[in-house]
Structure 1
Amino acid sequence: MASNNVSEIMTEIETLKSTKSQIETRISLLESQLHHLQNISTSDKLNNNNCNDNPQVNFENGLTTDQIYRYSRHLLLPSFGVQAQAKLLKSSILVIGAGGLGSPALLYLAACGAGKIGIVDHDVVEMNNLQRQIIHSEAYIGRPKVESAAAACRAINSTVEIVEHKEAFRTSNALEIMSQYGLVIDATDNAPSRYMINDCCVVLGKPLISGAALGLEGQLTVYNYNGGPCYRCLFPTPPPTTACQRCADSGVLGVVPFVIGCLQALKAINVASGIGEPLSGRLLLLDALSGRIRIVKIRGRSSQCQSCGDTAAMTKQQFQSFDYEKFTETSLSTSPQKLNLLPTRARISSKEYSEKIEKGEPHVLVDVRPAHHYNIVSLPNSINIPLSSLEKSLPDLPTALREEVENKSLVNGSGASLYVICRRGNDSQRAVEQLHKLGYTTAKDIIGGLESWATDIDPTFPTY
């Protein structure tokens, strides 16, 4: 009876939570619409009060009464002023990615008065985005990032044209999307996207503001600007896949992409307004741990570049047929990589492992994640031997297996099994391959790792 009551209560709680989330989402949407209408109403009143004959009259400097008031702090700057603001108001900027880099870039471009802003993203808002992707809110969890980002930009400045591209940026649509804009901000975080966006900019003659943030470091430069180098000039061949890390795998301090994203907006304003010195031919490096920013000179445009070279310049047809995933050996998908290195006999599912625990099977579970991952969360009774130090720590395994045999009082001839787990089931396979070579031929990895355990066995187990 008590069990049934608990189940009913939990069901009701989940139902109420779902209803609460729907109500909060609706409130947020209505508030955004109300704010938008209030902004329009305020703008109309200002124009009517100041220019009774023509509410949209332009002064000799080309700005309206509302624009002069809204952007007055820009206009007061001798080095920026009316001319730069007028150019910015006529600009069109494409931001590819509405994540950690795109969030601050979009917010400031909208606030500063970029005339037209395009947002490209096919992903949805997740809770673990909110630590760094400040353009999104809890009310938009589960909804498209483009919708969330567009609503935030319109709430800041209803006079800016926001264009939503709820799709992945691919060779099949890149030329059509990018051709609508004057310059591009690359706010993505993977190698194939960087090469693809660069090549598309070169083909269409668009300046590219490129930023990156990972861990506690960030970098920024401007490609394909006034005869400057493009991305391929610096990196004609892609880095090894082991060097192509993403925030989802290696982590990032939330404020780092914020800083780089703000600087991307700044450089976009430099290019669009014609004021200031864009970072063409130079690279800005941020070290958040020490608080240092360095700017280094990078090599210039390469005449042999496959993308912008004198004789090997890429055409539209070549761009559309180029396989960027094959070229970089990296997937464009944001989904975690899933390796399949081992034969079926060397792997077990999280459900099978759970059943072995219930039956009391003697075994040792080795968690091969780095120590700081292991400190976040781990399965009971597991031992941490990071993959990077597996061979060095090999002498610890016989001791652990022997102690397990003694603890379970096994009869002679019986032994303890050896299982390996990691975050997603990739490093555990690499570890098992090593163990097999080192003589532990019965070692098996747990398919899908701790994420599989959380999904299939224990929904309360934390994921990260």
Structure 2
Amino acid sequence: MSDIEIKTLETEIAALEKKLNEKKSRLQELKSKHISCPYSNVLTSEEIVRYSRQMIMPQICKSGQRNLKEGKILIVGAGGLGCPASLYLAAAGIGEIHILDYDEVELSNLHRQILHYETNIGLPKVQSVADKLKSLNSNIKIVPLHIHASSSITDLVQKNKYDVVLDCTDNAPTRYLLNDICVIYNIPLVSGSALQMEGQLTVYHYLNGPCYRCLFPKPPPAHTVTNCGDGGVLGSVCGVIGVLQALETIKILTQMDGVLSGRLLIFDGSETTFRNVKLRQRVATCEVCGDNPKIRAPVDYEQFCGSRAHDKVININILESEENVTVEQLKGVLDENNNVVIDVRSELEFDMCRLPNTVNFPYSRIRDNKSLDELEGFIKRAAEGNKKVYLLCRRGNDSQRATNYLRQNFSNSLVKFLNVKGGLHAYSKSIDPSFPVY
């Protein structure tokens, strides 16, 4: 690009910025003139124009828009569900939106968390979302809460007296936490989830409807629960569920009929189908919303569920120190080009990205005793060489399990099984930053 072209672009950008600033000034001028509107005792002239397309609907009208304007909601989770939900709720004119999330924006978020841009990487998610919502609708109040969703938020909920809470998270402890708090303080809970090509949505504790504990009095085993960080999710599936969470919230605030209470909406993105499943009614013996509740204050939900209240992976440590090698040592092993390095990630992940001179044998197949015979070729090759087999995975957890499993099942092979500590994440951090961390 020539200097003349650069200068021309700079001039055009400056002109656009000037025009944008003029429009912002004009908007503020209009707002200041119409704070007290002679044509409506509820809304300003600017608000009437802004929300006119929904206000002319009989389901909304002036009274519904007033309810939205006076509404105060809490969105827990500023990710794949929280972004589209908050976007449509801000656009609809919810008077006060509090957004709670403890995380920062990462590159891997951007395919589904549509309010975060490349320039926001490293910024707290709640701040990123708040900035976008304020630029969309300056009439409303946005409160970013950069904190963890733990029992400590009880005081926050009690103090603010929210009209609706949206659960836009993806872990069991937070689901139970929000459910119990909402029941204790009598707040409807709009709960959504998305994984791979499927999504689910329901409303808990609304007009004597069931709560989450009515359906799931005990949490599922922690190892059976998969989040999007491990199982994956299509961004547009998050968008569908997040937008529907916004819809249910608007229906609750405007007192529309048809709120998704006592029903579960199941969305199958692969077939583009929606199903409504009738849920059981409120359980009289429920420990939190029953006739004689036992839970009157939040408990330790991580202990209750046996899992963490976030999607960050906790590194395990089940091997002795001599059974591990560093990624620096792995680099030397790969350079020699005659060693056995087994990547135990799934075939899909191995196909996404891999280190040179590694072979794929998923941990799921290693655990299958019928597949042990297929490993004998690798072990025989190692026995004829340096008598070592190196196990590698994404973060160094499954490779530890595989190392332990193979050591027990091939104890007579004279081959030493070694885990690559920290896995591919450590390799990217210490050896080659260009290796994609996902």
Q: How high is the TM-score relative to the length of structure 1?
A: 0.85
Q: Does residue 400 of structure 2 align to residue 435 of structure 1?
A: no
Deviation at 1:281, TM superposition (A): 0.3
**Residue 378 (structure 2) aligns with:** 400
Contact kept? 1:209, 1:222, Cα under 8 Å: yes
Deviation at 1:337, TM superposition (A): 2.2
Q: Secondary structure at the match of 2:317?
A: coil
Q: Which amino acid aligns with 2:309?
A: L
The verdict on how the C-alpha distance between 1:281 and 1:179 changes in structure 2, with shifts beyond 3 A counting, is farther
Q: Contact 1:214 / 1:246 at 8 angstroms: preserved in 2?
A: yes
Partner amino acid, structure 2, of 1:398? E
Q: CA deviation at 1:65?
A: 1.4
Following superposition, the deviation at residue 43 of structure 1 comes to: 4.9
Once the two structures are TM-superposed, the CA of residue 125 in structure 1 deviates from its matched residue by 1.1
Q: Tell me the TM-score normalized by structure 2.
A: 0.89
Quote how far apart the aligned CAs of 1:96 are: 0.7
* 1:152 matched to 2:152: no
- 2:84 is aligned to 104
SS of 2:349's equivalent? helix
What is the SS of the residue equivalent to 2:156? helix
| Closer, same or farther: CA 35–213 of 1 in aligned 2, 3 Å | farther
Alpha-carbon distance in structure 2 between the residues aligned to 1:44 and 1:333: 44
Q: CA separation of 1:380/1:152 partners in 2, compared to 1, >3 Å: closer, same or farther? A: same
Aligned to 1:8: none
Structure-2 residue corresponding to 1:350: 327
Aligned residue for 1:222? 203
- Structure 1 equivalent of residue 6 of structure 2: none
Deviation of 1:437 (Å)? 2.3
**CA drift at 1:362:** 5.0
Name the CA shift for 1:78/1:173 in 2 (closer, same or farther; >3 Å): closer
- Residue 66 of structure 2 is matched in structure 1 by 86
Q: Tell whether 2:420 aligns with 1:446.
A: yes
Report the counterpart of residue 57 of structure 1 in structure 2: 37
Q: Check if 1:183 corresponds to 2:164.
A: yes
CA distance in structure 2 between the aligned counterparts of 1:137 and 1:74, rounded to whole angstroms: 29
Residue aligned with 1:206, SS: coil
Q: Which moved more, 1:162-171 or 1:96-105?
A: 162-171
**Structure 1 residue aligned with 2:304:** 327
Alignment match, 1:266: 247
Deviation string 1:272-326 (CA, Å, 9 cap, x unpaired) is 111231111000001001101101101111122122122124223xx1xx11111
Matched residues in 1 for 2:123 and 2:22: separation?
23
Q: Distance in 2 between matches of 1:375 and 1:310?
A: 54
Indicate conservation of the 8 Å contact 1:241/1:330, yes or no: yes
Does residue 72 of structure 2 align to residue 72 of structure 1?
Answer: no
Residues 229-279 of structure 1 show CA distances to partners (whole Å, capped at 9, x for unaligned) of 111111111111122211111111010111100000000000011123111
> Once the two structures are superposed, what CA deviation does each residue of 1:90-137 show, in whole Å capped at 9, x if it has no partner?
111110111000000111001000011101112111111110000111
Across the two proteins, how many residue pairs are aligned to each other? 418
| Residue in 1 that maps onto 2:357 | 381
After superposition, give the CA deviation of every residue in 1:311-351 in whole Å (9 maximum; x if it has no partner): 124223xx1xx111111111124422211222223222222
Question: Which amino acid is 2:422 matched to?
Answer: G
Give the counterpart of 1:45 among 1, 11, 30: 30
How many Å apart are 1:208 and its aligned residue? 0.2
Task: Report if aligned partners of 1:363, 1:401 keep a CA contact under 8 Å in 2.
Answer: no
After TM superposition, the structure 1 stretch with the greater mean CA deviation from structure 2, 76-85 or 119-128, is: 76-85
State the one-letter code of the partner of 1:432.
T
Paired amino acid for 1:208: L
Tell me, in whole angstroms, the C-alpha distance in 2 between the residues paired with 1:398 and 1:309.
57
Distance 1:58 1:96, change over 3 A: farther
- Residue matched to 1:459: 433
Name the residue aligned to 2:313.
336
Identity of aligned residues (%): 40
Distance 2:31 2:316 in 1: 60
C-alpha contact 1:61 1:82 (8 A) present in aligned 2: no
1:119 is paired with a residue whose SS is strand
| Partner of residue 134 from structure 1, selected from 114, 120, 124 | 114
- Structure 1 partner of 2:123: 143
Alignment partners' CA distance in 2, 1:188 and 1:93: 16
In structure 2, the residue matched to 1:278 is 259
> Secondary structure of 1:109's partner?
helix
Distance 1:247 1:35 in 2: 39
CA deviation vs aligned residue, 1:370-410 (integer Å, no higher than 9, x gap): 1101101111121111112123332233323444666xxx5
Is the contact between residue 182 and residue 189 of structure 2 (CA under 8 Å) also seen in structure 1?
A: yes
Quote the offset at 1:225 in angstroms.
0.7
Letter in 1 for 2:30: K
Relative to 1, partners in 2 of residues 1:296 and 1:448: Cα closer, same or farther, differing over 3 Å?
same
Q: C-alpha distance in 2, partners of 1:338/1:35?
A: 49
- Match of residue 181 from structure 2: 200
